[in-house]
A and B are shown apart, each in its own frame.
Chain A
Amino acid sequence: MELSGWFVVLASFLASAVEMVEALTIVLAAGTTRGWRSSLIGVGAALIALTVIIVIFGPALNQVPIDTLRLVVGGLLLIFGIQWWRKAILRSSGYKALHDEDAIFQKEQAEARTQGQQIRAGLDWYAFTLCFKGVFLEGLEVAFIVVTFGATARAVPLAAAGALAALVLVLIVGVLVHKPLSRVPENTLKFAVGLMLSAFGTFWAAEGAGASWPGADLSILGILAVYGALSYALVALLKQRKRKQLEANRSAA
Chain B
Amino acid sequence: MSFLKNFALFWYDFIIGDDWRVAAAVALGLIGTALLSAVGLPAWWLLPVAVSGFLWISLNAVANKRR
Contact B33 A95 (CB under 8 A): no
Q: Which residues between 162 and 202 of chain A lie within 8 Å of chain B, taking CB atoms?
A: 198, 202
Contact of B55 among A212, A214, A234 (CB under 8 A): A234
Contact A206 B59 (CB under 8 A): no
- Neighbouring B residues of A206 by C-beta, 8 Å: 30, 33, 43-44, 46-47
Contact B30 A202 (CB under 8 A): no
- Neighbouring A residues of B52 by C-beta, 8 Å: 226-227, 230
Contact of B48 among A202, A212, A241, A242 (CB under 8 A): A202
Q: Does B9 contact A (CB under 8 A)?
A: no
Question: For this complex, into which size category does the number of interface residues on chain B fall?
Answer: 20 to 34
Contact A209 B18 (CB under 8 A): no
Known: A78-B51, A82-B26, A206-B30. A211 touches B59 (CB 8 A): no
Known: A83-B18, A140-B14. A210 touches B51 (CB 8 A): no
Tell me the smallest distance from the CB of A167 to a CB of chain B, in Å: 21
Known: A75-B30, A80-B15, A82-B22. A212 touches B51 (CB 8 A): no
Complex Cα spacing A167 to B37, Å: 42
Contact B59 A90 (CB under 8 A): yes
Question: For this complex, into which size category does the number of interface residues on chain A fall?
Answer: 35 or more
Contact of B37 among A205, A211, A219 (CB under 8 A): A211
Contact B63 A95 (CB under 8 A): yes
Contact A211 B14 (CB under 8 A): no
Tell me the smallest distance from the CB of A228 to a CB of chain B, in Å: 12
Q: Does A238 contact B (CB under 8 A)?
A: yes
Complex Cα spacing A211 to B37, Å: 6
- Neighbouring A residues of B26 by C-beta, 8 Å: 75, 78-79, 82, 205
Interface residue ranges, A against B (CB under 8 Å): 71, 75-76, 78-80, 82-83, 85-87, 89-90, 95, 140-141, 144, 198, 202, 205-206, 209-214, 219, 223, 226-227, 230, 234, 238, 241-242, 245
